[in-house]
Each structure stands twice: as structure tokens, then as C-alpha cells.
Amino acid sequence: MGGTVLTERRAALRVWSAFALLMLLVAAPVFSTTVPPLFDYPNHLARMHLLSEGGNQFYEVRWEPLPNLAQDLIVPPLARLVPLDVASKLFLVATLGLIAGATLWLNRVVTGMWRLWPLLAFTLLYNRVFLWGFLNYLFGIGVALFGAALWVALERKQWWLRAFTSTLVALACYFSHVAAFGFYALVILGLELQAARLELRARCWPALGSRMVIAGVQFVAPAALIAGYWDKRAGAGVSYPAIWRKADLLFSVFDNYNRVFDIVCFASFLALLAWLAAARRLRLSPRLAWAVGAVAVVYLILPSQLYGGSGVDHRLPIALCLLVIGATAPEFPNRRIAAAIGVLTVVVLLARLAFIEHVWVEAGRVYSADLAGIDLLPRGARLAVAHPASAVNFVPIPEVHLPVLAVARREAFVPTLFAYKGQQPVALRAPYAALADAATPEALWDFLWRDDTAENAGLGRILQQYDFLVAIGNEPQRRVLSGCFQRIFTRPNFEILAVLHNSACDL
């Protein structure tokens, strides 16, 4: 017995030492840049500022039990101890660590051993969902994986302890992100389905009833919150993508900056799983097999747009891949092959991080230059935003939401701050909500750089209510509006214009 305990401790020490080293590696890009180039990140950072300050003359804080609050509940209190930008970066690192650590613990609980295999999750951390900046969802996925491990670990404990702790986890998933809560519910359903099926066949009604009650009680409070506060009118309904897109979206778990290299990584990942499965060495945990199947089926039938949520099915591949890693315990033919695969995995991870570091350092230079222009604005300025529709797309160094940092740096009004009812705990104050709705960035872009059209009528009058305009994008053919604007800051894809207030521009 003593030898077994010692072996277990040594295995745990080896695994967690490797985990700590890998965490240092994946955290490096976060702290090597001014602003992490995640598409939505500047918008989130500006909101964290407002929550920390309690709002300002343009925005007010409206706390509600929304299913999208992970960063909102953690970063502002942390910002009392460290600068806001550091607090937000610490949240990023904590999210990465929670995902990898929860996958590691889940694997330990369902396989009975500490293994290096689940550290494969580190190669998936910089995925397309992360680069889009869906941070609350990813934090919630980490909570869900942790909760699934806790659910199994407490299986033989008192029922009330299991029900209480799982309720806390379910609520944590809900408040992190509603999609993460859905993923957690699917995993718990899968964990209990096999045993419930056997009890149903054996007609063990008391055992089946007890299982259903203990497993279901954790979802009562989140379900009540969803029923009471989810406003399905906040979104644009339901839409489904082409079925072939489901296969394409799986690539998002590796898709970041170098398409050829990312395809090689993805193909290698699939080949490794396929080889292990074909050789019957993948060893999928029976406890989690149903959960993996449930998540896979839901992914196939999930729409892309679901009321207030966009890219709903885009989010699930990373959760599915992490679950597969956590649910498997491969048995390699020999130690030499296992070591070779481990070394190759480390090489791939280092190469991926090198690509990421290169892009993020360059992003730091671009953002520092752009932010110098934002810092020229007077405090309390009203800053309109114009960009083409094509700008709302993934690029290595996104600048679309960078103007929103004027909210945090200059206490400015920027209409593109995320302040949607039922999604964020901030709202525009009455006069400015109407101003933000009066013109979209795409409409202002067309007004500035293209010929007059009927759709552009009245946009000059709307712009007269702003002090400055930032134009994001490179347009070679521009209209001459010299009497209405004055350039004060120019970068290749980021230009700030002062709005000249005169009657000739009130079009």
C-alpha cells in the first residue's frame, strides 16, 4: 500500500510539474503585448473599466443575474489590487490554466491515474474561439470540466454534499456563460445515462429515482434563472449553417495564424486519435463515453444563430476535443513510442507558441501606435466609429474594437461598446442609447468614403452630435469632406478625424 501511495505521489508531482512549466509557456504571449489581439478583448476591457468605476456620464451599470458574467464578476474586484490591464491579463491566464487543469483532473478521476496524456490540452488553448475573445464561455468550459470531475469524485460521498457542490458548479457555469452551462448539463447527462439505463432495464425504480433527483437538483436554480431572465427577443432568431460547415468548424480548435502549419497540426491530432482508436488503444472511459456521444450529437444539430447568441455551434468543437482528451487513457505499444509522441507534441506546442508570440509582439507595436492617437482625445469626448462590413472578420491583428478603449483611457462615449440588454451588465444612458442606434459603423463608412445615396441621408446630422470620428480600414478612394472633418491622427488602417461643427455639414 505504501509503495502504491508513493508511486501515486510521484506521478502527481511529475504531471503537475509539467503542467506548471507548460503554463509558463502559454502565459508568455499574454504578457508580451500591450493588448492581447483577441477580437472582442478591447470591448471587454472597456466594460471592466466601467464596472470598476460604477459607470460614467455615458454608461450606467445594471447588474442582473445574466448568463455571461465570468469576467465581469472576477476582473473588477481584482483590479482593486493590480492595474486593470494586468487584472484582465491574469483572467486570461487563469482561463487557460482552468481549462488545462480541469481536463487533467477529469482524466485522473475517470481513469484512476495521473497521466501526461491530458497535457495535450495545452496544444488547443490558443484556438479560434479564444482568438475571437469569447472569454466568458471558455472560462465556463473550464468550470464545466472541473464540475464533471468533481461530480465523479464525490460519487460515493453523502448525497447532500454532492447535490450542494454540484449546484454551486451549475450556477458557476450559468453565470460564466449559458453555453458552458449547456455543455456541463450534457456531460452530467452522459455520465448518468449509462447507469440509469441499466437501472431502468432492471426495474430498480428507487435507485433510478434517487439518481434522477440527485443529478437533477443542481439544475433547478439555473433553470429558474434562465426562465426568469432570458429574453429570447434580444436576438435575431434561429438559423442553421450548411451541414458541411460542421466538419469545417472542427478545424477551429487549431486554427490561428499559419494556415498550412495549423492544418498539419489538426491532421496530426486526428491521425493520432484515429491510429489509437483503430489499434484499440485509445481506451475511452466508459463513464464518459455517453457524454462524448451526447456532446457530439448536439454539436451536429445545434444552430449557428440562436436568439441572442451568434456562432453557437462554433463554440462547441473545443469543448468536445477537451472532453475527448479528458476521457481517454491511451495505451501506447511501448515507452519509446510514447516518449516520441510526447516529444513531438512539445515541439508542436513550442512552434505554435512561436507563431503566436510573433503575431502578438507585432500586435503590441500596432496597438501602441493606435492608442497614441486615442490618447490625444480630450476626456469626455464623443467618438463615432466607421468601418466597412468586411472588417468584422478574423484577422491576425484586429483593430475594429480598439476605439472602445477610449472609454477606459479618456472616459469617452463610443457607440460600439457591447451594452446589449440581457447580455452585458452595462447600458447606455438614455440620450446616448438613441445616438448609438442612429447610425451603424458600416453606414458611417459608406457615408464617408462613398458617393451619396438615399441610405446616407441624415448621417451628416448625426455626426454633428459627435466630437471625433475614427475610421478603421484602408480605402483608396475617399470622398472630399474637408469642410466637415480635420485629420488629427493617421495610421495605415486607423485614422481619427475631428468633426467640424458647421451648418454645411448638417446633411
- Look at residue 223 and tell me if it is in a domain: yes
- Can you read off the three cell numbers belonging to residue 265? 497540426
Question: Which of 241, 233, 229, 219 is closest to 172 using CA atoms?
Answer: 219
Residue 279: pLDDT band (50, 70, 90) is very high
Alpha-carbon distance of 147 to 186, in angstroms, equals 12
Amino acid at site 75 = V
246-255, 271-280, 328-337: segment of lowest average pLDDT: 246-255
Q: What is the pLDDT of residue 244?
A: 74
Q: What is the pLDDT of residue 237?
A: 65
- Look at residue 298 and tell me if it is in a domain: yes
- Can you read off the three cell numbers belonging to residue 103? 481536463
Distances in Å between the alpha carbon of 53 and those of 49, 79, 177? Answer: 6, 10, 23
Alpha-carbon distance of 251 to 262, in angstroms, equals 8
Q: Is the per-residue pLDDT at 477 higher than 60?
A: no
- Look at residue 199 and tell me if it is in a domain: yes
Tens of pLDDT, residues 249-272: 899 999 999 999 999 999 999 999
Average pLDDT of the residues in 152-173: 94
Contact 15, 104 (CB under 8 A): yes
Alpha-carbon distance of 507 to 118, in angstroms, equals 61
CB atoms within 10 A of CB 33: 20
- For 260-296, give the DSSP string: HHHHHHHHHHHHHHHHHHHTT-S-B-HHHHHHHHHHH
Q: What is the pLDDT of residue 440?
A: 93
- Look at residue 448 and tell me if it is in a domain: no
- Look at residue 104 and tell me if it is in a domain: yes
The whole domain housing 213 covers 68-331
Q: Is the per-residue pLDDT at 482 higher than 70?
A: no
pTM higher than the cut 0.85: yes
Amino acid at site 73 = L
Number of domains in the chain: 1
Tens of pLDDT, residues 24-56: 999 999 999 999 999 999 999 999 999 999 999
- Look at residue 349 and tell me if it is in a domain: no
- Look at residue 92 and tell me if it is in a domain: yes
Residue 506: pLDDT band (50, 70, 90) is low
In the sheet that 468-472 helps form, which strands lie side by side, from edge to edge?
383-386, 468-472, 494-499, 485-491
Q: At what angle do helices 178-201 and 316-327 cross, to 10 degrees?
A: 50
Mean pLDDT of the chain: 91
- Look at residue 431 and tell me if it is in a domain: no
**What are the φ/ψ torsions at residue 317 (nearest 5 degrees)?**
-55, -40
| The residue to which cell 476582473 is assigned | 75
